[in-house]
Amino acid sequence: MATQRAGGPRIRDGVRAALPLAPSPILFGLSYGVLADATGFGSAAAVVMSATTFAGASQFAAVSVLDAGGTVAAAILAAIFLNARYMAISVTVASIFPGGKLRRLVESQAIVDESWALSGRRGSFEWPILVGSGLVFYGLWVGSTAAGTLIGGVLGDPNALGLDAAFAALFLALAVPYLRERRSREAAALAAVITLVLLPFAPAGVPIIAASAACLLGLRR
């Protein structure tokens, strides 16, 4: 096998490692394109966002906050808060990136949850796996977003279709892996309470941003 050769894995091993996981980013990207288009976020904005942000949950969050009537600031904050964890993730792989700052800046964009997980599955993080699989996920993500926006226009009124509930199901499914940890469960429960209490009073988008204060539970020893 190529991975056994001296010099360790190559980029193409990363590409190969990503292929079995291909259906997920394809379906996820399609649904992002559909929802973005159906809710009026816009096809071009959805595709550009997939190409520049390349972090699914935050992109869905931005679309859903705007769709729910939230302000631009609320959409930005919700998405940025969701992606702040990439700071912690990128630190775990900081030492595997070769080359100068510009090259590291470009290649670090291959970091997404899936490429990060694949690159560490043999005990230590491997740069070719991260970059190779990240490239595959990137292409699939941007391409399927574009394809999804083409389908989205065909659908009718998004709320008659129950797409608002689809957003809720999406965010819940994404939250489940975090909830195995007690600290995350407590913080999430507090966030749910803050959101529910504020929903009747605060303008759309504000309860979500206020709920981010629940992460202050992380300051406890």
Q: In the complex with another protein, which residue's Cβ is closer, 147 or 166? A: 166
- Residue from the set 79, 131, 140, 146 that interacts with another protein by CB under 8 A: 79
Site for another protein in 160-179 (CB under 8 A): 160-176, 178-179
For residue 195, the SS3 value is helix
Quick check: 141 and 133 in contact, CB under 8 A? no
Site mask for another protein (CB under 8 A), range 87-106, x = bound: xxxxxxxxx-x---x--xx-
Quick check: 125 and 92 in contact, CB under 8 A? yes
Site for another protein in 113-152 (CB under 8 A): none
Cα atoms in the 13 Å half-sphere on the side-chain side of 87: 5
Q: Is 4 exposed, middle or buried (0-12, 13-18, 19+ CB in 10 A)?
A: exposed
Q: How many helices (H) and strands (E) does the chain have?
A: 12, 0
Q: Where does this chain touch another protein (CB under 8 A) — which range of 4-12, 13-21, 27-35, 143-151?
A: 27-35
Instruction: Answer left, alpha or beta for residue 220, where phi above 0 means left and psi between -120 and 50 means alpha.
Output: beta
Q: In the complex with another protein, which residue's Cβ is closer, 91 or 154? A: 91
| Number of shown-chain residues binding another protein (CB under 8 A) | 100
Site mask for another protein (CB under 8 A), range 38-77, x = bound: ---xx--x--xx--xxxx-xxx-xx-xxx-xx-xx--xx-
Residues 220 and 144: their CA atoms lie apart, in Å, by 42
- Residue from the set 19, 80, 117, 150 that interacts with another protein by CB under 8 A: 80
Q: In the complex with another protein, which residue's Cβ is closer, 16 or 85? A: 85
Q: Does 21 bind another protein (CB under 8 A)?
A: no
Quick check: 74 and 82 in contact, CB under 8 A? no
Q: Does 3 bind another protein (CB under 8 A)?
A: no
